[in-house]
Amino acid sequence: MIKYALGIDISMKSFHACISSIDISQRVKIKSTSSFSNNLTGFKLLLKWIQKHCADSNVPLVVVMEATGVYYEQCAMYLFKTGFAVSIVLPNKAKKYLQSTGIKSKNDKIDSKGLSRMAAEQALPFWQPMDDYYYQLRSLTRQHQSLQELKTSIANQLHGQLNSACANKIVTKQLKQLILNIDKQLEVIELAINKQIQSNDTVARKVDGICKIKGLGILTVAVIIAECNGFILFKNIKQLVSYSGYDVIENQSGKHIGKTRISKKGNSHIRRALHMPAFNVVRYEVPPFINLYERTISRHSLKMKSYVAIQKKLLIMIYTLWMKEQTFDYNYYQVTTGKMESEISSQFSFAEAVLQNSADQKPALHKVTNRQNIAV
């Protein structure tokens, strides 16, 4: 026997678990299935059940569960702290795997068996919980985004009321009051984000260096470092690009050459946060972003595709400045990020979506010497 595999299909109040084993001939055998409550009592019973059906302590056990909102977090954290190797997979990835095995029906028990088999057959990357500092920062930045989206929705309703033939005074008054209330809440969240960043000297210094890019604000940087857990899980830029949904999907077979586009199968919070800064750095003509924009727009005359390229370049710039603990300097952009972008461009044909950056367009880097105040 090579390993035990535990698949967990989790929901708000309960979860189904299935233990299987795989031998040297790659044959998967279901050992047992059971259901537990999604709380501390259920987790303790799960441990006893695992010990009962995984008798050989020399055989490793891997755990796989779906990322079902926030419902998986407590169980995953409990198993992680207990010492188990835990993998978290996206629901669409698990669904496609089950479809590939020929399973047509769907219920919690079947899903747990499928996840168990997936854990047995595949070498999945292990999950690592988010640092509490970045978890708190992410909660704040996501709340800020939610409030902004809510404000936009209410503002659109107000616009409709003000321009309608028969506007209702009561509705109009309430909508205006809601916008004022949201603005107050946004101020509180922005102050909390700033306070959270300032509470860590290293983070504050790095953020200060990154915000030297004109058009890039503290909120954008806060979103990115919070969603990426301080970049600690990324070994290279390629992984970061893929995680953010800026990796390229090609559509080509034989003589057919389809459109090349970014996958968008990644963290949408990052892409949303980089949308406006991409416009800002172009408007302020910040090198090397303006150089990339002019070069790409001259090739295809499609502004939005050029702005997508700027978003990717901004993300790589932020990652590089953060990892190197350096600050941005307009007059001295060279070496590090340009070299990395050249490597990425050689691996990904950014023909349409995020066009390649030439080796002579490199970011401004020098060591941070002074820490300045960070304002929202």
Compute the distance between CA of residue 92 and CA of residue 12 in angstroms, rounded to an integer.
Answer: 19
Q: What is the pLDDT of residue 262?
A: 67
- Residue by residue, what is the 3-state secondary structure of 143-156? HHHHHHHHHHHHHH
pLDDT value at residue 20: 93
The per-residue pLDDT for range 257-294, each reduced to its tens digit, is: 556 666 777 889 999 999 999 999 999 988 889 889 99
Global confidence as pTM: 0.76
Residues in contact with 163: Cβ distance below 8 Å, sequence separation at least 6, in sequence order:
none
pLDDT of residue 70: 86
Range among 19-33, 35-49, 351-365 rated most confident = 35-49
Average of per-residue pLDDT values in the chain: 84
Q: What is the pLDDT of residue 307?
A: 93
Q: Is the pLDDT of residue 85 over 70?
A: yes
Lowest-confidence region among 3-12, 62-71, 98-107, 108-117:
98-107
Yes or no: say if 221 and 207 are a contact pair by the CB < 8 Å rule.
yes
pLDDT over threshold 70, residue 359: no
C-alpha span between 319 and 178 (Å, rounded)? 37
- Terminal Cα distance for the chain, rounded: 56
CATH number given to 3-121 = 3.30.420.40
The two structure tokens encoding residue 86:
């835990």
62 SS3 class: strand
C-beta of residue 126 within 8 angstroms of C-beta of residue 86: yes
The beta strand positions in 43-154, using DSSP E, are: 61-66, 85-89
Closest CA to 296 of 361, 346, 247, 340: 361
Cβ neighbours around 149 below 10 Å, total: 11
pLDDT digits (tens, 9 = 90+) for 310-325: 999 999 999 999 999 9
pLDDT in tens, 203-240: 999 999 999 999 999 999 999 999 999 998 788 998 89
> Which two tokens mark 222?
């806060």
d(CA 298, CA 290): 12
Question: Tokens 């000297």 identify what position?
Answer: 201
Give the span between the Cα atoms of 357 and 291, in whole angstroms: 9
Asked if residue 369 has pLDDT above 80, the reply is: no
pLDDT band at 251 (very low <50, low <70, confident <90, very high): low
Q: Quick one: pLDDT band at residue 334, thresholds 50, 70, 90?
A: very low
Per-residue confidence (pLDDT) for residue 260, from 0 to 100 = 64
Nearest Cα to 32, choosing from 2, 74, 61, 72? 61
Confidence of residue 341 (pLDDT cuts 50, 70, 90): very low
What is the mean predicted confidence (pLDDT) over 163-170?
Answer: 89
Q: Compute the C-alpha angle 234/239/240, nearest 5°.
A: 75
8 confidence band (pLDDT: 50, 70, 90): very high
In this structure, of 181-185, 333-337, 359-363, the range with the lowest mean pLDDT score is 359-363
23 touches 44 (CB < 8 A): no
Residue spans of the domains in the chain: they are: 3-121, 132-199, 204-367
| Cα–Cα distance measured from residue 144 to residue 208, given in angstroms and rounded to the nearest whole number | 20
Query: How much is the pLDDT for 261?
Result: 65
- For the cut 50, the answer to whether the pLDDT of residue 371 exceeds it is no
Of 171, 281, 162, nearest to 217 by C-alpha is 281
pLDDT value at residue 91? 84
Give the Cα separation of 72 and 247 in Å (integer). Answer: 27
**Paired tokens of 138:** 């992410």
Tokens of 26: 């790659």
Q: If pLDDT is split at 50, 70 and 90, which confidence band does 252 have?
A: low
